[in-house]
Amino acid sequence: MNKHCRIDVAQGVMTIWNCNAGQRNALTPEYYAGINAGLERATNDAAIHAVVLAGEGGFFCSGGNLNALKLRRELSMPDRRAKVDELHAIILGIRACPKPVIAAVEGGAAGAGLSLAMACDLIVAGESAKFTLAYVKAGLTPDGGASYALMQAMPRATVARMALLGTPVAAARMYALGAISDLVADDAVLGHARDLALKLGAGPEQAIANIKSLLNAAETSDLESHLIAERDAVCDALGGDEGAEGIAAFLDKRKPVFR
């Protein structure tokens, strides 16, 4: 697609590659353009059922490019904010995408790369991967929603350890805390992420999109309001084609065919 972003589509699975391996896939304007275009296509193209975010060269994403960040000092505050808003639009785009998005974390995810991983619905990591929120070491504070997503996922003391000291956290620890969904051998990360994407791709499109919305809503809702949201969604599903097929297949003891 461009020099820092490549998009593959196979069997309904879109893989968006960060192709900046020489800089451990630090974020670039080219990658932003690519992932934005990819998420937009995934949102609108019925032939795309799931998205995998991956990095070339064995590392997921090391976050901001420090040379680029140095130049941001020279920008006016509105221009500086606009740059960060570009990242944040991607984070919100991953969440808003009706198709599930899977992070395939080889090697590690650091800084805004961790933000990117944590924004995904499923997070697959290799056993030797590390998750690092070391903005503090550069005199900076987190962006990309990492300080929100981690606080939702983990107790405050564990997040504070990561955010105030910048200590890397091993994939096994992230998995023990439930913060990532899948821990696999280092050489199995991409294959496993694709397998999950294929399984999701065989599932019911509307139900999956609605479940994703329910999980998003649960972060700020209360039980009573959420019960209403669940009720409305399941009543729609009960009357829809996917529910009809799913229930019929279950009663017939056969696999449902949703797509």
Subset of 179-238 contacting a second copy (CB under 8 A): 179-182, 196, 199-200, 203-204, 207-208, 210-212, 214-215, 218-224, 226-227, 230-235, 237-238
Is residue 49 part of the contact set for a second copy (CB under 8 A)? Answer: no
Closest to a second copy by CB, 2 vs 23, is 23
Q: Strand 108-110 and strand 13-18: pairing?
A: unpaired
Question: Exactly one of 137, 185, 187, 259 binds a second copy (CB under 8 A); which one?
Answer: 137
Q: What is the number of other CB atoms lying within 10 angstroms of the CB of residue 155?
A: 11
Residues 258, 5: Cα–Cα separation, whole Å: 31
Closest to a second copy by CB, 16 vs 208, is 208
* Residue/partner pairs of 75-79 with CB below 8 Å, 24 or more apart: none
Q: How far is the CB of 2 from a second copy (least distance, A)?
A: 25
CB 202 within 8 A of CB 246: no
Closest to a second copy by CB, 16 vs 159, is 159
Q: How far is the CB of 78 from a second copy (least distance, A)?
A: 9
Is residue 147 part of the contact set for a second copy (CB under 8 A)? Answer: yes
CB 132 within 8 A of CB 111: yes
| CA 38 to chain CA centroid, nearest Å | 13
Closest to a second copy by CB, 160 vs 185, is 160
Total count of residues recorded for the chain: 259
Closest to a second copy by CB, 2 vs 206, is 206
Residue type at position 202: A
Residues 53, 115: Cα–Cα separation, whole Å: 13
Residues in contact with a second copy, counted by CB under 8 A, come to a total of 100
CB 186 within 8 A of CB 128: yes
Q: How far is the CB of 251 from a second copy (least distance, A)?
A: 6
Is residue 116 part of the contact set for a second copy (CB under 8 A)? Answer: no
Q: How far is the CB of 176 from a second copy (least distance, A)?
A: 7
Contact code string over 64-103 relative to a second copy, x by CB under 8 A: --xx-xx-xx---x--xx--xx--x--xx--x----x---
The tokens describing 97, both together, are 């995408």
Is residue 108 part of the contact set for a second copy (CB under 8 A)? Answer: no
Is residue 155 part of the contact set for a second copy (CB under 8 A)? Answer: yes
67, containing H or E segment: helix 66-72
Residues 172, 129: Cα–Cα separation, whole Å: 9
Question: Exactly one of 16, 35, 154, 183 binds a second copy (CB under 8 A); which one?
Answer: 154
Residues 182, 192: Cα–Cα separation, whole Å: 9
Question: Exactly one of 26, 109, 123, 184 binds a second copy (CB under 8 A); which one?
Answer: 123
